[in-house]
Amino acid sequence: MPHLPKRWLLVPAVSCALSGLFGCAPTINYALKSVPAESSLQLTEITADRDSVAGPVVYWKGKAWSYDVRSRFSLSADGFKLAYMSKQGGATGIVIRMLDGSYRTFRKPATGEAIDPVIAPDGSRMAFARCDHHAWNIFETSLDSNPAVRRVTNDPCYNLYPAYAADRKQLLFNHVELQQGREKGVAEPSWKLCSADLETSVLTEYGDGFSPSYAPGKNRAVAVRLNDSTQTTELWLIDLATGARSRLFGKPGQGVADPAVSPDGKVVAFVTMTEDSNTPANLDIYTMNMDGSSLTRRTFFPGQDLCPRWSGDGNSLYFLSQRNTESGEWNVWKMDLTGIPAAGAATDAKVQPASPVPVKPAVKEPSPPAPNSALQKSAVPAESPAQGGSLADTAKISPPPPPHDSTTQGGK
């Protein structure tokens, strides 16, 4: 299959009969809209089940968790435009809609799939990842005019998860290569954090990391990195000018995913595991100051809350949740932060790490051709931007599935 191997995916518990081997996910009452601990929050459901928001499958093995970390939705800074991954007719594409209901379209290429949408801060353009000839590359398209697309990267590997800088002149993204694993004939992905200058087409590599989020105005970014010794993901702050990096948050066995830096650059929201006496282990949204202080739990739903995204004014957090559904469908929700404690107040959540368990299933498939030299640490010109066709309002079926860049956490 011409897609990224599921290197970190845990085998899901398909029935309780297999629980002795794989474990079963905890039983969750998805019909709950909120719980008493969220009584001070103003929560608004932005999408409905009929919108077919493409959320991940969260796999649990004891207290180890794993899911496909994607940029599953994005909101323009003015709060008018929403773009999200959706499966219509079985094909993964991107829905773009105005939140006042005045416009809605489903876009995907004539062949392949489109994933990882991110709307530019000014709302005029959208970057995304697209499968083209068995490779995944970054493209950009206008949201205000025709749907023609510009190719931002062009190599035979996997380029995913774009993130705009505040001035829309630069895109961070993940570059993934398959490399020889520890076993003969086994390929394992290697994640690199890269950027593309949208004015000069220069590509630059910053070392390992994935799921980037710019820190506005500071030429810094927050990304997730895997701690090889604990096999747990951690939050790291990376200076894009000097390459200096420092760890913001990491606890063995707990793990993090989906960082998002606030518009003022002072706070980062992210996903991590909650384990307390009131609920089974689950994934929640947390915030923390960019100096690593004041960890604050934001969601308390016993199911999964993922993929936090800030409103343009920083007064709200949008996120994906399985709440208020019949069987755990995913929808975009909005949390109003006005009038409730900001990051800086003490958290009332006990965030207790579990013992790490390395989980690295191997995938036997050949490595793709070597990437072009534009991604080898030094900044060199990339191929000139080219028109790569258009995103049509269609829902053709049977392209290969999107890649899996999953986060796996150790557990007991």
Residue ranges of domains in the chain, CATH in brackets:
24-52+59-408 (2.120.10.30)
How many CB atoms within 10 Å of residue 244? 10
Give per-residue pLDDT as tens, 192-240.
999 999 999 999 999 999 999 999 878 899 999 999 888 889 999 999 9
Give per-residue pLDDT as tens, 117-176.
999 988 999 999 998 888 899 999 999 877 788 999 998 889 999 999 988 899 999 999
Res 284 pLDDT > 70: yes
Q: 189 pLDDT band (50/70/90 cuts)?
A: confident
Strands (E) in 228-276, as ranges, are 232-239, 245-249, 256-261, 267-274
The answer to whether 252 and 230 have CB atoms below 8 angstroms apart is yes
Give per-residue pLDDT as tens, 99-128.
998 888 999 888 789 999 999 988 999 999
Spatial distance between the Cα atoms of 379 and 385, rounded to a whole number of angstroms = 16
- pTM exceeds 0.85, yes or no: no
How many CB atoms within 10 Å of residue 242? 9
